[in-house]
Structure 1
Amino acid sequence: MEIRGFTEQDRTELRALAVLAGSGSPTESLWGHPESEAAVYLDPYLDREPESVFVAVADGELTGYLVGSVDSANFPSEEERMTEAIRRYRLVLRRGPALFFARAVADTLTSRLRRREPAGDFTDPGFPAHLHINVAPAARGTGAAEALVHRFLDHAGAAGAPGCYLQTLTENTRAVRFFTRLGFTPTGAPADVPGLRYQGERVHQQTMTRAC
């Protein structure tokens, strides 16, 4: 297995891997439109900060990837990226995404009525870097994910970032255990995730942090 930096030639294979890698997780499908989901969670990193994207390669094929930013203050927020994707792909006119975002609005209102702030971006100058990681099901347990995280943390630390954060779901217990083992600590209370359901139930976002 090789861990290396992203090259533009990887883009097409990465787009396919992004769909495959979430299989079986609570975030396997968000609003059911892979192209616009990639426009939020993959393409901006490839376009804006490709030096912070790393891939795992085994037998000549990509088996995992990590995207991130060493300074989140200079990277578009998730809300900004999502708003742009909704506009560009006219998601309000597509039945599946439109239902998701309508439910998200209702969930947000419900959370606030219960005095629970819904999930959102995390801001802390002590943890300016952030990451997202995806590994194909067949590569889980091979060490690829751990190697990707350590490669990014080294990269972020060398760029001057004192710490890094990520956001996962409490319902994704495998991910929580994995990040805990790598030294990430839950920071703040879990927050309601508007719109998303797993096995018919609402899910909750947990921010986790660690020093680079």
Structure 2
Amino acid sequence: MQIREFTESDRAELHALAPIVGEGSPTASLWGHPESEAAIYLDPYLDHEPESVFVAVDDDGRITGYLVGAVNSATFPSEEARMTEAIRRYRLVLRRGPALFFARAVADTVAARLRRRELAGEYTDPAYPAHLHINLAPAARGTGAADALIHRFLDHARTSGAPGCYLQTLTENTRAVAFFTRVGFAPVDRPAEVPGLRYQGRRVHQQTMVRSC
């Protein structure tokens, strides 16, 4: 397994891989429209900070996983801004799946505020300015690719001046939580409800985790 920096020629292959990397996990799909989901969680990283994107390549030259990140989250487009742009660009409120998701998200938000439950959101701490998202094809899990991608990004973030890094996963994704714990990330704050998202018919909860670079 080779870990290397992203090149523009990888873009099409990453787009083809993006819909399957979450297979079996609570975040396999948000609202069933892969193109708009990639416009939030993939393309902005390729466009704004390609030097912080790394890919795992197998012996046949195929990309089997990737990590996207930002060294300084304060200068990177926020998740809210990226989502707002995707909603506008793809007219998601006019598409049945996404429209149902957003309607449920609004209802969840109202209910959480009435009951004073914490909601998921972005994390800000100058001690952990970098952030990352990591995704592997099912066949690449357990190969060591995830470890290598994480450490490659942390080395990059450290040499770029970032003292620490955070990520956000779901408590219901127990495999991911166990992996991130093993590579040195620790949870901060309590898990927070993610409006709109369901896994096996149940609400899910965001867990923020941090570690030094």
Please list every run of 5 or more consecutive structure 1 residues that lacks an aligned counterpart in the other structure: none
Aligned partners of 1:112, 1:158: CA distance in 2, in Å? 41
Q: Secondary structure at the match of 2:178?
A: helix
What are the Cα deviations for residues 105-159 of structure 1, in whole angstroms up to 9, with x where unaligned? 1111111111122101000000000000000000100000010000000000000
What are the Cα deviations for residues 166-206 of structure 1, in whole angstroms up to 9, with x where unaligned? 00000000000000000000000000000000000000000
The count of aligned residue pairs is: 212
Aligned partners of 2:176, 2:167: CA distance in 1, in Å? 11
**Counterpart mapping for 1:81-92 below 5 A:** 81-92=82-93
**Amino acid across the alignment from 2:12:** T
**Amino acid across the alignment from 1:21:** V
TM-score, length basis structure 2: 0.99
Aligned partners of 1:79, 1:101: CA distance in 2, in Å? 13
Q: 1:203 is matched with which residue?
A: 204
Confirm or deny that 1:35 pairs with 2:35: yes
Aligned partners of 2:166, 2:113: CA distance in 1, in Å? 25
Moved over 4 A (4+): none
Aligned partners of 2:194, 2:182: CA distance in 1, in Å? 24
Q: Secondary structure at the match of 1:190?
A: strand
Please list every run of 5 or more consecutive structure 2 residues that lacks an aligned counterpart in the other structure: none
Confirm or deny that 1:143 pairs with 2:144: yes
TM-score, length basis structure 1: 0.99
Moved more, 125-134 or 114-123: 114-123
**Counterpart mapping for 1:44-193 below 5 A:** 44-58=44-58, 59-193=60-194
